[in-house]
Structure 1
């Protein structure tokens, strides 16, 4: 593996496949975009001196890992600015290998770093988890919770009120004798001419649904089944409603201080079209700061045709400049597509 390939989306994706890593929900419903262009260089006082890596298509997660986070937003996009430090040992080794120009030694080094980044416990996985948390927040509330300079904020996508449904009284799926979840799903699917294909809920909500008399009677009358498995319930409801039923059970930390739990909330059903927009991975800090009219640090090296940046901090040692710290500054964005979002139905069932 060449040094330039270490950060490429294709390499990371293929590596994940070899490990048998499952696809996250957001990777199915939102197009995943990457930026692969980067170069190897740094600048000292505006001059090209020294060597460093500018990656442009990987991300880090401050919630599950110890990384700095600064987030901001502009119109319909959320920008997460995060950082990962290359430790002293690896930085020194990389410089030595680049100076030696030993392709074999460099290849071994890159493979080791790549395993740390994209392996079973690699920190690159954290961006997928972060994107998944963002996506679940979006489809269950129409909002996202972020931090901007350590201040908690909520980004409201202003999802149409008509696309948000709240059952009451005997309609609640927790009222087994009066609730009608199959009828509800059929009604919501046709609601507002929404082009919905999938219904997503967590296991508790699913169990509320299958405990209702309506579902039990349907299973008994239509399939002569009185004691059904989850798969039989799902197949039956899918056949009746024309919706693909997904039971969401993935656990993660929604906040650093919390324990792992299923990130899809109880008593919420999200009805989705096949596509909702895109998730974009890649550092874009300097470009976004410029767009927002903010100052860009002089020691940021920007990648042509991308927003990728690397901040390098120097200290003077005699007549020579010594690199004291290298920080990859990284960013991901989520941009739901407005026409597709109009087909998202969010229903509260209890």
Structure 2
């Protein structure tokens, strides 16, 4: 008869997560910044503008910033954000599982076990949120803000200031007569002139996309005889932008949830970011303390690595009988293409 330690293991939790995640749609950031791994993780490996190392700037103690913008992490380890969370099986589930394990029929405890695996794998899903938030901060600001140990840190990737703009009152895209096509064309030309690389893609939220759908200039261009009477669709606008400007636009409205239950967009409203084809950089994972212990053999815990660098660790607790699951990661994106993008706050 199996016991709780045989069933709730790092290997089983990792396998359950990978099986359930295989059918999920990947985050946009994960497709633009492929995951890579190296031993340790020093900032000298993480590149920003011009191939230079990323600069880390801590702010004053107790500095306040919106939770939505700053990513809360446990600490900054070897100059890298270190993320770790743990979970024990709930008292009620633990007692019920221990009782059901006395039954010779595995079907009695499989349903409860699946629920426990699902709860534990949510830690890994939470770990996936961290690099996605970092990437979307980079693509919307050129920087990453994190909070750790009562300090706010900014990872400054040294994005060229001439590739960032905030539209003022008379030019905001929320106005139906805004010069949206002309703006995009100018920004594409600016990047092309400066770098020789022409943007081919863009990222917006649904709110920003709707500015474009309602724009009188675009509507008139699509229907010269009665532009304002045209019924605009997403497909029509996509085809128009590809034909007119040679760009494909991703409308990214995916959200994450904070521990207080509030949900937030990964990519902010009112931002239009132009990017070139191909990967933008890499999502670099370092070696967590749990993985280092595993490699050295200096641990009795069970450790499994998922998603390139996320460590899933289970620790046996003999009294009361329980299993603690710890998920940890050290992660930071590089951004070798940061000179070749353009970020516009279109409703500043």
TM tier, smaller: 0.5 to 0.7
| Distance 1:30-1:248 versus aligned 2 partners, 3 A rule | same
| Distance 1:245-1:94 versus aligned 2 partners, 3 A rule | same
Which residue in 2 is equivalent to 1:250?
A: 254
Give yes or no for contact 1:279–1:333 (8 Å, CA) kept in 2: no
1:268 Cα deviation from its structure 2 partner: 0.6
1:70 Cα deviation from its structure 2 partner: 0.6
- Whole-Å separation in 1 of the counterparts to 2:334 and 2:288: 20
Which residue in 2 is equivalent to 1:44?
A: none
Secondary structure of residue in 2 paired with 1:339: coil
- The structure showing larger relative contact order (alpha-carbon pairs under 8 Å, at least 6 residues apart) is 2
The root-mean-square deviation of aligned C-alpha atoms, in Å, is 4.6
Q: Which residue of 58, 79, 82 corresponds with 1:79?
A: 82
1:284 Cα deviation from its structure 2 partner: 0.7
| Distance 1:332-1:244 versus aligned 2 partners, 3 A rule | farther
Gaps of 5+ in 1: 36-62, 290-297, 315-320
1:340 Cα deviation from its structure 2 partner: 2.1
> Structure 1 residue 275 and structure 2 residue 279: aligned?
yes
- Whole-Å separation in 1 of the counterparts to 2:22 and 2:314: 32
| Distance 1:91-1:277 versus aligned 2 partners, 3 A rule | farther
TM-score (norm 2): 0.65
| Distance 1:308-1:245 versus aligned 2 partners, 3 A rule | closer
1:307 Cα deviation from its structure 2 partner: 9.2
Give yes or no for contact 1:302–1:308 (8 Å, CA) kept in 2: no
| Distance 1:141-1:238 versus aligned 2 partners, 3 A rule | same
Which residue in 2 is equivalent to 1:197?
A: 200
How many residue pairs were aligned? 295
Secondary structure of residue in 1 paired with 2:132: helix
TM-score (norm 1): 0.64
Q: Which residue of 330, 333, 336 corresponds with 1:339?
A: 336
Which residue in 2 is equivalent to 1:234?
A: 238
Q: Deviations for 1:131-182, whole angstroms, at most 9, x for unmatched residues?
A: 33232222111222322124444333332222222223433213332x2222
1:91 Cα deviation from its structure 2 partner: 7.5
Which residue in 2 is equivalent to 1:6?
A: 12
